[in-house]
Structure 1
Amino acid sequence: MRMLSAEQYVASLTEPPDPVLRDLTAETVATAPNLQSTHYEGLMTAMLTRVVAPRRAVALGTFTGYSTLCMARAMPPGGRILACEINAEWAAVAEKYWARAGVADRIELRVGPADAFLRDLPGDPPVDLAYVGADKVNHLRYYELLLPLLRPGGVMMIGDALRGGLVLDQECLDEDVVAVREFNTAVAGDDRVHSITYPAGDGVTIVYKR
């Protein structure tokens, strides 16, 4: 009998995606670049959302909406997500599946650049939970714009921390990889937060504001 890998074993212990998530994944794979969150990453996002129990959350770079959908399902009653996606076609896919899942009333979506979205975002009430999945070159910029909006004890999740393992290759000078490598180093040394990088999917950095 062939032994399961650690990844396969962990996957066997998680609840499977429901029809909405399965269909969203299928449409994303068929019509958009390979930027989709894995189901395991979605479950982890939902778990952290339940732990934080945010009244106000922010999602940058929602893509076709998988992670934001998982967050919205895990929000407490009355919780709201302010979401931003620069690509109108991907945003339309996200809105379709949010409506199908019955969570559209929990999400306010803006289509446009993330930095403008963040600059216009009022700091009161503060943000309890943030998810960043937008363009990697500007991750550090988004982090610095988000951190003042985050309440003490608030949590930020930043995706794509490993870039397929390329962050380990110092000879890889791809713009996105260099940006993520520099971002990871900056956050690890930031005394305003506690942080940990977790190797789920393509990696996620979890930040807790002191």
Structure 2
Amino acid sequence: MEILPGDLQTYLDNHCDTEPEALQFINRETHLKVLKPNMLSGHYQGRVLSMISKMMQPKRILEIGTFTGYATICLAEGLTEDGIIHTIEVNGEMEEMLNQHFSLTTVEKKIKLHFGAAEHILPTLSTEVFDIVFIDADKKNNLLYFELILDKVRSGGIIIIDNVLWKGKVYGPEKDADTESFRKLNDSITVDTRVEKLILPVRDGILIIRKK
């Protein structure tokens, strides 16, 4: 779902760095072979994630929700030489595709793939301190994931939550459960004094949170 008008989004796509060849392939494969390909971050949002990561130069990244690995690779582009991204995917059937996709890149060895529910995987990462966290998984648990990982993020670290404008429904009249879940998330973080925050109207909205 794109919040911005199509002609503006096309202009933005045409005025950022070119989508790397491996990501072009993953983009095509996702649209050909995977249900709900619109869950893919895509070219422009991918370059946004890559830019944030390169600005932060993180040593440790956590991603909750790998999908087909597009955003994983974008985030990994900014890792330090010895950096690692831990990425958690609940669907074990994605393993073969993900391994293929990661093998196309120069960051394959920096990616640690975990399968299972995030709330079960996170305790196994208890010794890690993260510079960046990207949350893009089952939407009803966004606030839970935020609370679970906040103490694992260093001061000055960044948390990014995807889809927070939820097809524009969060500022409309809709009352369905998913929309209300996003309203609760956005409202809760807005008043959270432990963090600084803003929503960027990138694709379906990304919430950028900086831990104080």
Tell me which residue corresponds to 1:190.
192
**In the TM superposition, what are the counterparts of 1:39-58 in structure 2 within 5 Å?**
39-58=43-62
1:56-105 residue CA offsets vs partner (Å, 9 max, x unmatched) = 11000011010001111221211100110001233432221111113221
> Could you say which residue in structure 1 is the equivalent of 2:31?
29
What displacement does 1:173 show? 2.6
**Who is 2:201 aligned against?**
199
Q: 1:91 to 1:166 in 2, by over 3 A?
A: farther
Q: How does 1:40-189 map onto structure 2 within 5 Å?
A: 40-122=44-126, 124-170=127-173, 172-189=174-191
Q: SS at 2:104's partner residue?
A: helix
Gaps of 5+ in 1: none
Kindly report structure 1 stretches of 4+ aligned residues shifted beyond 3 Å. none
Match of 1:5 in 2: 7
How many pairs were matched up? Answer: 205
Work out the CA distance in 1 between the residues paired with 2:85 and 2:167. Answer: 28
Cα RMSD, aligned residues only: 1.4
Judge conservation of contact 2:58–2:78 (CA < 8 Å) in 1: no
Q: Distance in 2 between matches of 1:71 and 1:117?
A: 20
For 2:198 and 2:111, how far apart are their aligned partners in 1?
27
Letter in 2 for 1:167: V
8 A Cα contact 1:161 1:202, kept in partner: yes
Q: CA deviation at 1:181?
A: 1.4
What is the deviation of 1:207? 0.5
- Distance in 2 (CA, whole Å) between partners of 1:162 and 1:92 is 32
Sequence identity of aligned pairs in percent?
30
Scaled by the length of structure 2, the TM-score of the pair is 0.92
Q: Note if contact 2:90-2:115 (Cα within 8 Å) is conserved in structure 1.
A: yes
Matched residues in 1 for 2:121 and 2:23: separation? 27
User: Is residue 86–residue 111 contact of structure 2 (8 Å, CA) maintained in 1?
Assistant: yes
Give, in angstroms, the shift of residue 19 of structure 1: 2.1
CA distance in 2, matches of 1:66, 1:176: 24
Contact 1:63 1:91 survives alignment (8 Å)? no
Question: 5+ residue gaps in structure 2?
Answer: 1-5
